[in-house]
Structure 1
């Protein structure tokens, strides 16, 4: 393959003389996508949070987490490329890794961003056919879900990601995009990213229909829902699968089926 160039999501131009063969992924959802694109054999390093597919951690080098990595271990693995994400990984990690290896950074806020990432990976890793198939399947499933959801009423929700302090999903992130896609009105979308909130003031945003407690990054449980009940008025508190709302990549296909099941339970 001749030399080729691509620009990542933060505007960095990458030029390759050959297709990267040794990949380190520092983003769990993107690790899953790489596997689904048929690239598992090329992955040499992952994070301790890369839990899908579940057998991967037994077969690949663990180079740290998403916020702290072992640079010496990464260097020793001699990667051709490291895959990062603007939200998941720190700027410090990206800048330090650039001294060692090309770093591809994604920035996924919208569903269109997600489709573009899959397309980019197809070009980047010479698996265009697999990427096109995934995007074709996703486009069909997204269209099908739009038909499913169009008759549903718009309902007000608050989506919690953390406790002590309580933090919720605001605007400008993939969670908010998927909430909107589900016709859930995020009552905190007037605040950016992941604001801290006071639970006592939750009903200042109008009458909530639902409070979603995510399974990640904080693993909310039934006891947390019971603790919050007195503050949430008539809102129904529901434990939701955080991977389905926050993992971009190929996970979106499973998420659309999960969302259908969720709506049928509401």
Structure 2
């Protein structure tokens, strides 16, 4: 979700060609890096979780692809290929049960673990060699789900999690709690996120919600749709999603639409400098960069410097830090 710093200085034809290629690369990076609620926006559309899936059954818990995971014994050898899920497991106190990590998992507790490459398309051989008793991954990868089928063929039943919303986060956290025998810890994590989001929403009383556009991708533009976990973070922070009426979790939009909707702020996820502490009246470090990108300088908020940089990891993962993200955004918008 991050690479908003690319500058394209080329003719229209080359720019369109580069844009299509970069679009797929950035979408893969968006899904892999923030690994949020995987909207499987790869190529055509998103994998959406079924509201009736992921529920407990008489035999165990059901994931987002319909696999039933028995509760015969607590899982102790876990691989999570979804950094948001990994953060939830660590917060539950299960860091010592993880046996590998991705390059996006930067927690100190996991530093000594081997790194698995290919978050969306992991090496079946490398995963199988580690003999996990719980493998958490996206319901579909860049290959249309063939990776998951290969795991099934070798007798490794994987847990599919599409975490698009706060409700999805809560549901999967509860499932992880049951699978690990850490039900109380899972309940505590969920309760803490609810408290943090509520606290963020109480930090701007009497203020009017500001219209924002969140830049999932700058070229071509992609943003956040209604109902996603980011949309919930916006609401808690006193922000109104300018594209709340557009279908899809992560819709593609046009520069003309952005200019016409005239948001109060443009929010830009970045890598490298986190959530900067900004003095009142200071110019955001992403303001000039956004103004230089094709078309964005014509957006009134960008032209006026009303750009808010946010940490791509913090804002890209539906996990224990969602309240922290909401508090930061509220402070940047409302000054408190």
Equivalent residue in structure 2 for 1:65, among 118, 128, 132: 118
Provide Cα deviations, 1:124-168, integer angstroms capped at 9, x if missing partner.
111122122222322332332332345331222111122333322
Q: TM-score, normalised by structure 1?
A: 0.84
SS at match of 2:202: helix
The alignment covers a number of residue pairs equal to 260
The CA distance in 1 between the partners of 2:118 and 2:332, in whole Å, is 30
Equivalent residue in structure 1 for 2:133, among 57, 80, 97: 80
1:191/1:123 CA distance change after superposition, 3 Å? same
Q: TM-score, normalised by structure 2?
A: 0.68
SS at match of 2:104: coil
Equivalence for 1:142? 197
The CA distance in 2 between the partners of 1:149 and 1:258, in whole Å, is 12
Equivalence for 1:233? 300
1:93 is the counterpart of 2:147: yes
Larger CA deviation: 246-255 vs 88-97: 88-97
1:251/1:91 CA distance change after superposition, 3 Å? farther
- 1:169-180 matches, within 5 Å, as 169-180=224-235
1:187 is the counterpart of 2:242: yes
Equivalence for 2:270? 215
Contact 2:83 2:104 (C-alpha < 8 Å) held by counterparts? yes
Equivalent residue in structure 2 for 1:224, among 289, 296, 300: 289
Highest relative contact order (Cα 8 Å, sep 6+), 1 or 2? 2
Equivalence for 1:8? 63
Contact 1:27 1:88 (C-alpha < 8 Å) held by counterparts? no
What CA RMSD, in Å, does the superposition of the two structures yield over aligned residues? Answer: 2.9
Equivalence for 2:315? 245
Normalized per residue, the structure richer in strand is 1
Equivalence for 2:210? 155
The CA distance in 2 between the partners of 1:241 and 1:37, in whole Å, is 23
Contact 1:27 1:50 (C-alpha < 8 Å) held by counterparts? no
Contact 1:10 1:105 (C-alpha < 8 Å) held by counterparts? yes
Contact 2:209 2:240 (C-alpha < 8 Å) held by counterparts? yes
Deviation at 1:49, TM superposition (A): 1.6
1:126 is the counterpart of 2:181: yes
SS at match of 1:148: coil
1:237/1:146 CA distance change after superposition, 3 Å? closer
SS at match of 1:48: coil
Deviation at 1:73, TM superposition (A): 0.5
1:127/1:184 CA distance change after superposition, 3 Å? same
Provide Cα deviations, 1:13-52, integer angstroms capped at 9, x if missing partner.
222432221111101121122112111111112222222x
- 1:14-29 matches, within 5 Å, as 14-29=69-84
Unaligned stretches of 5+ residues in structure 2: 1-57, 275-284
Larger CA deviation: 9-18 vs 123-132: 9-18
Contact 1:114 1:249 (C-alpha < 8 Å) held by counterparts? yes
The CA distance in 2 between the partners of 1:15 and 1:55, in whole Å, is 28
Deviation at 1:222, TM superposition (A): 4.7
SS at match of 2:251: coil
Equivalent residue in structure 1 for 2:157, among 81, 90, 102: 102
